[in-house]
Structure 1
């Protein structure tokens, strides 16, 4: 699971923007100014009914500051 969802920096993080784009999401955040340090992104490759799916998750980030439910807004 991506730790971004409970991160205080969610609204302006360049790594979160990258992960969202990889999920083919349209990101409408305007201030991508925060560049986290020492991040590890996990790309899980799955195959179902002949199609390949990639699930991107940020699993480690030294800049992580917990803010539970931040992504719910």
Structure 2
């Protein structure tokens, strides 16, 4: 699971913006301005390379704000 959904910077983060693009999901913001320090991304490749799952699993800039993504997108399923 991507740690970004519980990060204070999720709606401003350049890295999360890229992950949204990889998942073909709508962006929380069109012009993110926060450049995180040391993000670590896991990329899982499935179905002989036809599907890729991108998850930020670590970041030196991570600042816990539980439920931040859900508050920004009320009523939508939280990404897993």
Query: Structure 2 length normalisation: TM-score?
Result: 0.81
Q: How many matched pairs?
A: 71
Over 3 Å off, 4+ runs: none
SS in 2 for 1:10: coil
Larger Rg: 1
Alpha-carbon distance, 1:16 to partner: 0.5
Gap runs ≥5 in structure 2: 72-80
After the TM superposition, which of the residue ranges 22-31 and 63-72 deviates more from structure 2?
A: 22-31
Which structure features the higher share of strand residues? Answer: 1
Q: Which runs of 5+ in 1 are unaligned?
A: none
Which one of the candidate residues 42, 61, 69 is aligned to 2:67? 69
TM-score, normalisation: structure 1: 0.88
CA contact (8 A) 2:11 2:28 kept: no
CA displacement, residues 13-68 of structure 1 (integer Å, 9 cap, x when unaligned)? 00000000000112141441100001111110111xx7721000001100000000
